[in-house]
């Protein structure tokens, strides 16, 4: 079967050859017809155009002739299989198309037509420049108005974010985008008009105009066709949001202690609420997916497969962290604000996320520990059992056996009571941790409600202990010695603020 070959001249289709006649293929017939049309002189275009039928080897052949010049011929086999016209109608339509081509050729070489086209194009070009200039001025005026409005209005900050500034920036970008597309549309319309002014380019202009019109029609038709799906998606998402709000209210009430649900603890209500919300939204999106415009297209399906493949490859480690996070939440081992030790790291819990735990150490360092690592280590929580009094801080001193232990207890407790960072109820207390060969080991315990200030509080406590022991003439020294010194090893009270130390204001030197 021969390949169809169209005969086109001056950007206009005349006929498509499909049959091989006398051993001449459709492509050769199209090439010969085009060559004869190109060889026509301007004087030949005024000759009459006619067609007549002859018989070649029992095959009717319709010949098209301009004056005495043979242009091309057609046979019934040139008609497409789905063309239900009669051969006579096909011949007449071909003659009309050929007549239009010859008319365009004649108009294209007619100087008045060319001059008129050039003038009309130049006028349209001037109008285009004027339109672009007006649009530029309007865009600048609108941007200036937006800028003035931004300067006059007060800052609209919500949770530290300036929504007014963001809205003005968005309006600025939208204005620029709209202006750009409007300029492109004007240039496109001018191009269509300019091409329509010349016979040679008129079919191109008509195709560009048809493309624009077809695009607008397809956009409008697509929007109308998508409306039922969009409305359905909106309804499903609204119902999902309503269900999620009801569930969230129940879990928030449980979390705040206003509602008791069997099997649900207030500490785990927040995490359970988030997981249930994810499930509810996942179901809502699943129901809404078939109604999303374009969801059945190959592109949408390809993206879904790609995202699924990416999630499958990267989900192993994420799932491990998620499951470990659920273990932490439902075991209630950690809460935000707890002072904990995870392995060798000690700090205050500042964030419990689905993938990691963030601690702020007493040295003001933020440390992020993956949930799987947290689950794999022993967790020591210094706050959970401490109650409202706060976590316990402790410090150790070693005093010789020649100092009464009751006196040591009293001095340590006095030092703790002077520290404003320590809680006085419950009262500080002292534990004798060991009776060594040369000294007794005393550990002072006191409650602290600000675990993040533990380092500073301990520093002040150590200073208070030294002052207390010096005041009462008791030396702090683990007596690894060969003989007892003649006098107590301590700092006299009058030497407490020896230079360069500076006494606090209002105290006597």
Q: Is the pTM of this model over 0.75?
A: no
Q: Inform me whether the pLDDT recorded for 444 exceeds 90.
A: yes
Q: Inform me whether the pLDDT recorded for 317 exceeds 70.
A: no
Phi, psi values for residue 305, rounded to 5°? -65, -40
Q: Which residue has the higher pLDDT, 146 or 99?
A: 99
Q: What is the pLDDT of residues 119-141, one digit of tens each?
A: 888 998 899 899 889 988 888 88
Tokens, residue 201 = 């380019």
3-state secondary structure of 397: strand
Measure Cα distances from 277 to 205, 249, 318 in Å: 56, 11, 19
CATH architecture of 339-381: Roll (2.30)
Q: What is the pLDDT of residues 232-251, one digit of tens each?
A: 989 999 999 999 899 888 88
Q: Inform me whether the pLDDT recorded for 312 exceeds 80.
A: no
* Residue 445 confidence (pLDDT): 92
- Residue 261 in contact with residue 273, Cβ under 8 Å? no
Q: Inform me whether the pLDDT recorded for 86 exceeds 80.
A: yes
Q: Which residue has the higher pLDDT, 500 or 61?
A: 61
Match 């006929």 to its residue by tokens.
15
Give dist(CA 416, CA 440) in Å, integer.
19
CATH fold of 387-495 reads Alpha-Beta Plaits (3.30.70)
User: What integer is the mean pLDDT of 184-213?
Assistant: 83
Residues 6+ apart with CB under 8 A from 396: 433, 441, 442, 443, 444
Give dist(CA 143, CA 126) in Å, integer.
26
- Residue 7: Cβ within 10 Å count: 25
* Residue 273 confidence (pLDDT): 79
- Residue 78 in contact with residue 17, Cβ under 8 Å? yes
Sequence-ordered strand ranges (E) for 108-253: 157-158, 161-162
* Residue 412 confidence (pLDDT): 92
């Amino acid at each position: 079967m021969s390949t169809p070959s169209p005969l086109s001249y001056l950007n206009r289709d005349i006929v498509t050859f499909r049959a091989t006649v006398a051993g001449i293929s459709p492509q050769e017939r199209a090439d010969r017809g085009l060559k004869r049309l190109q060889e026509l002189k301007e004087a030949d275009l005024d000759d009459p155009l006619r067609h007549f039928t002859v018989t070649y080897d029992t095959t009717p052949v319709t010949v098209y002739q301009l004056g005495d010049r043979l242009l091309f011929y057609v046979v019934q086999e040139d008609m497409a299989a789905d063309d239900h016209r009669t051969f006579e109608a096909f011949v007449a339509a071909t003659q009309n198309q050929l007549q239009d081509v010859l008319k365009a050729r004649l108009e294209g070489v007619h100087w008045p037509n060319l001059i008129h086209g050039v003038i009309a194009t130049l006028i349209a070009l001037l109008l285009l420049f004027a339109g672009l200039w007006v649009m530029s001025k309007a865009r600048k005026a609108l941007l200036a108005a937006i800028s003035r409005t931004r300067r006059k209005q007060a800052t609209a900050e919500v949770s530290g974010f300036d929504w007014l500034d963001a809205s003005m920036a968005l309006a600025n970008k939208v204005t620029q985008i709209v202006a750009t597309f409007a300029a492109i549309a004007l240039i496109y319309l001018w191009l269509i008009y300019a091409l329509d002014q010349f016979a040679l380019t008129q079919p191109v202009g008509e195709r560009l105009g048809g493309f624009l019109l077809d695009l607008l029609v397809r956009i409008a038709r697509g929007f109308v066709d998508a409306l039922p799906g969009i409305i359905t998606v909106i309804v499903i998402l609204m119902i999902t949001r309503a269900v999620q709000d009801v569930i969230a209210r129940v879990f928030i009430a449980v979390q705040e202690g206003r509602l008791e649900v069997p099997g649900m603890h207030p500490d785990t209500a927040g995490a359970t609420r988030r997981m249930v919300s994810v499930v509810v939204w996942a179901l809502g999106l699943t129901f809404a997916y078939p109604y999303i415009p374009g969801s059945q297209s190959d592109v949408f399906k390809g993206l879904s497969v790609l995202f699924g493949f990416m999630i499958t490859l990267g989900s192993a480690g994420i799932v491990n962290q998620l499951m470990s996070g659920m273990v932490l939440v439902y075991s209630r081992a950690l809460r935000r604000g707890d002072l904990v030790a995870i392995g060798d790291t000690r700090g205050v819990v500042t964030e419990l996320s689905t993938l990691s735990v963030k601690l702020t150490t007493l040295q003001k360092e933020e440390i992020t520990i993956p949930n799987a690592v947290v689950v794999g280590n022993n967790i020591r929580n210094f706050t959970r059992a401490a109650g409202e009094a706060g976590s316990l801080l402790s410090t150790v001193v070693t005093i010789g056996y020649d100092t009464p232990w009751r006196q040591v207890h009293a001095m340590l407790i006095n030092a703790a009571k002077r520290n404003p960072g320590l809680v006085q109820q419950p009262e500080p207390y002292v534990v004798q941790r060991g009776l060594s060969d040369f000294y007794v080991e005393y550990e002072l315990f006191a409650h602290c409600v600000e675990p993040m200030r533990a380092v500073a509080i301990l520093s002040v406590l150590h200073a208070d202990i030294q002052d207390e022991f010096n005041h009462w003439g008791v030396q702090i020294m683990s007596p690894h010695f060969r003989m007892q010194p003649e006098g107590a090893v301590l700092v006299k009270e009058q030497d407490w603020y020896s230079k360069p130390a500076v006494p606090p204001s209002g105290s006597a030197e």
